Amino acid sequence: MEQTKVYSTGCLLDNKIGWDTNSHDSVSRENKLSSQNFLSVLQTSTSLSGCAQIESTTTEGCAQIESTTTEGFAQIESTTTEEGDSTPSYKHLWVVCDECYTLNYKRFLKERLSICEGCESHLKMNSSERLELLIDPNTWDPMNEKMASIDPIEWDSEDDPYIDRIASYQKKTGLTEAIQTGIGRLNRIPVAMGVMEFEFMGGSMGSVVGEKITRLIEYATNQSLPLIIVCASGGARMQEGSLSLMQMAKISSSLYQFQTNQKLFYISILTSPTTGGVTASFGMLGDLIVAEPNAYIAFAGKRVIEQTLNKEVPEGSQETEYLFDKGLFDLVVPRKTLKSILNELFQAHSLFSLNQNSIDNINI
């Protein structure tokens, strides 16, 4: 009977025979394995064992990867289901134009003065960007920076208390109120200037906004400075009730002293949006009223008018170009040329004032 050869890595080997020395069967010389042949077979066996181990490890690794991947997809799918969209958000890098829906990259948009690349529409600018646009570098001296609103009528709102809203907008904008006021130079001409911040509660005019504007006008009156106010507001602030409405009369009174008695120069710049109590007071009291192109300017909003009168407001009837044709403004000036136009207006007014003083002296 032919002997079945079984190689075992666990038996002791004889150098000559290569088999288990305890075997009871005699083995012929021709069938004996040399140590070299056995080692070769042993290496082959070890390699096969290693391959099997690698294959096993690979299989386990693939299973683990597949499991991890499945869990990952499940997590993504869960996130998609909960949030509705698993696409990474890059909204903070882009601004969509409301007119032509062009995506404007924020970095380039700032270099273009927030003018849409697709249709040249004038998009919103914050107050700091407008100061950077109009005031010479390192000449801005702010006034009344620390003035902030309290809750004068104890506005009752359990869901969103007025004081908490003020604090949240202060944190968001870095400002204490919805306007920046101060003194600066426009092409080396000293001016008193106020710029409203629409991002702060829609630029709404409360008691602090009214007080800051009044103090600015009084300072400009005492120092004989020309005045610029850039308007961007939703109107009077309802959380302060009649106190916010009183600001309209207070500012108008101080402007009367500035313009009529002192004969100083006030330019009102209307940007989008300018509505409500701001439009009904200092926004429309400028010696020259300048508006930006395609700005939304009104007293009452379109929705309010339609709901109150049950009539449809014609499209575009509350925009700069239509209102300019009706004689509501003196100038419509694009943002790129605004500073140079203001410079020419101040120089012309200064020259006119000198000539007028000379005439008055002659008459005397």
Return the half-sphere exposure (C-beta side, CA atoms, 13 A cut-off) of residue 282: 37
Q: Which two tokens stand for residue 114?
A: 């927030």
Query: Could you read off the pLDDT of 287-317 as tens digits, one per residue?
Result: 999 999 999 999 998 899 999 999 999 999 9
| 3-class secondary-structure state, position 95 | strand
> Is 305 exposed, middle or buried (CB count within 10 Å of its CB: 0-12, 13-18, 19+)?
middle
Q: Which two tokens stand for residue 226?
A: 């020309």
Does residue 356 surpass a pLDDT of 80? Answer: no
Closest CA to 304 of 235, 203, 246: 235
From first CA to last CA, the distance across the chain in angstroms is 149
> Is 290 exposed, middle or buried (CB count within 10 Å of its CB: 0-12, 13-18, 19+)?
buried
CA dihedral (97, 100, 105, 110) in degrees, to 10, reads: -60
Q: Which two tokens stand for residue 201?
A: 């509660």
Query: To the nearest 5 percent, what fractions of the chain are helix, strand and coil?
Result: 50, 15, 35
Question: Cα 271–272–275 angle (5° rounding)?
Answer: 95
Query: What is d(CA 7, CA 37) in angstroms, rounded to the nearest whole number?
Result: 12
Does residue 37 surpass a pLDDT of 60? Answer: no
Q: What is the mean pLDDT of residues 189-218?
A: 97
Let me know: does 57 contact 45? Beta carbons within 8 Å: no
In degrees and rounded to multiples of 5, residue 53 shows phi and psi of -65, -45
Q: How confident is the model at residue 80 (pLDDT cuts 50, 70, 90)?
A: very low
Omega into 88 within 30° of 0, i.e. cis?
no
Return the half-sphere exposure (C-beta side, CA atoms, 13 A cut-off) of residue 290: 17
pLDDT in the model for residue 352: 65
pTM for the whole structure: 0.73
Q: What is the mean pLDDT of residues 268-290?
A: 96
Q: Please count the other Cβ atoms lying within 10 Å of the Cβ belonging to residue 221.
A: 19
Let me know: does 140 contact 131? Beta carbons within 8 Å: yes
Q: What is the mean pLDDT of residues 351-357?
A: 58
pLDDT in the model for residue 204: 96
Q: Label residues 249-259 b or e (16+ Cβ within 10 Å = b).
A: ebbeebbeebb
Let me know: does 213 contact 252? Beta carbons within 8 Å: no
Let me know: does 333 contact 290? Beta carbons within 8 Å: yes
Does residue 54 surpass a pLDDT of 60? Answer: no
Q: Please count the other Cβ atoms lying within 10 Å of the Cβ belonging to residue 354.
A: 10
Residue reference for tokens 């004969």: 263
Closest CA to 266 of 312, 311, 208, 213: 213
CA dihedral (105, 108, 109, 115) in degrees, to 10, reads: -120
pLDDT in the model for residue 220: 97
Three-state DSSP string of 111-178: HCCCECCCCCCECCCCHHHHHHHHCCCCCCEEECCCCCCCCCCCCCCCCCCHHHHHHHHHHHHCCCCC
pLDDT in the model for residue 7: 38
Does residue 26 surpass a pLDDT of 80? Answer: no
pLDDT in the model for residue 144: 96
Does residue 227 surpass a pLDDT of 90? Answer: yes
> At 290, which amino acid appears?
V
Q: Which two tokens stand for residue 273?
A: 């949006």
Q: Which two tokens stand for residue 217?
A: 């006008």
Please report, for residues 149, 218, 233, 309, the alpha-carbon distance to residue 42 in angstroms, rounded to integers and kept in the order given.
Answer: 89, 103, 89, 100
